[in-house]
Structure 1
Amino acid sequence: MRITDPTAIRALAHPLRLDLLELLATSSPATAAQCGRVLGVSQASCSFHLRQLAKYGFVEDAGPGRDRRERQWRLPDPRPTLRLSPGDDTVVRWQLERMVVDREMQAILEFVDRDDEQSAAWRRRAGLTTALALVSDEEAEQLKTQWLALLEPYLARSEADMDARRPGRRFARYFLAATPMPTETTDD
Structure 2
Amino acid sequence: MSKPVVELTDPRALRALAHPLRLALLGLLRREGPLTATRAGQLLDESSASCSFHLRQLAKYGLVEEAAGGTGRQRPWQATARATSWPSRPASLDVRAATDALSAVIAERYLVAMLDWIGRRDDEPDEWRQAPFGDHDVYLTADEMTEVAERTAALIAPYLPRTDDESLRPDGARRVMYLDVALPIGRRS
> TM (normalized to structure 1)?
0.83
Per the alignment, residue 84 of structure 2 pairs with 81
| Kept in 2: contact 1:4–1:92 (CA 8 A) | no
Distance in structure 2 (CA, Å) of the matches to 1:21 and 1:69: 18
Per the alignment, residue 3 of structure 2 pairs with none
Residue 107 of structure 1: how far off its partner (Å)? 1.6
Distance in structure 2 (CA, Å) of the matches to 1:120 and 1:112: 14
Number of residue pairs matched by the alignment: 181
Residue 131 of structure 1: how far off its partner (Å)? 1.0
Q: Deviations over 1:33-78 (max 9, x none)?
A: 221221122222211211111111111111224x99611111111x
Distance in structure 2 (CA, Å) of the matches to 1:10 and 1:87: 14
- Counting only pairs closer than 5 Å after superposition, residues 139-154 of structure 1 correspond to structure 2 as 139-154=144-159
1:86 partner amino acid = R
Q: Pick from 99, 102, 106 the counterpart of residue 96 of structure 1.
A: 102
Distance in structure 2 (CA, Å) of the matches to 1:68 and 1:51: 13
Higher RCO, 1 vs 2 (CA within 8 Å, ≥6 residues apart): 2
Q: Deviations over 1:80-130 (max 9, x none)?
A: 122215343321232232222222122212222235523765232x23131
| Kept in 1: contact 2:122–2:129 (CA 8 A) | no
Per the alignment, residue 36 of structure 2 pairs with 31
Q: Pick from 135, 138, 141 the counterpart of residue 133 of structure 1.
A: 138
Distance in structure 2 (CA, Å) of the matches to 1:104 and 1:170: 18
| Kept in 2: contact 1:12–1:18 (CA 8 A) | yes
Cα distance change, pair 184–63 in 1 and its aligned pair in 2 (3 A): closer
2:80 partner amino acid = P
| Kept in 1: contact 2:37–2:52 (CA 8 A) | yes
Residue 149 of structure 1: how far off its partner (Å)? 1.1
User: Is the deviation greater in 35-44 or in 114-123?
Assistant: 114-123
In the alignment, structure 1 residue 4 sits paired with structure 2 residue 5: no
In the alignment, structure 1 residue 178 sits paired with structure 2 residue 182: yes
Distance in structure 2 (CA, Å) of the matches to 1:138 and 1:36: 44
User: Is the deviation greater in 132-141 or in 115-124?
Assistant: 115-124
Distance in structure 1 (CA, Å) of the matches to 2:127 and 2:41: 29
Percent identical residues = 38
Distance in structure 1 (CA, Å) of the matches to 2:132 and 2:125: 9
Residue 19 of structure 1: how far off its partner (Å)? 1.1
Cα distance change, pair 167–36 in 1 and its aligned pair in 2 (3 A): farther
Query: Which runs of no fewer than 5 residues in structure 2 stay unpaired?
Result: 1-5
Corresponding residue SS for 1:21: helix
Query: Which runs of no fewer than 5 residues in structure 1 stay unpaired?
Result: none
Cα distance change, pair 99–142 in 1 and its aligned pair in 2 (3 A): same
2:79 partner amino acid = L
In the alignment, structure 1 residue 47 sits paired with structure 2 residue 13: no
> TM (normalized to structure 2)?
0.82
Question: In proportion to residue count, which structure has more strand?
Answer: 2
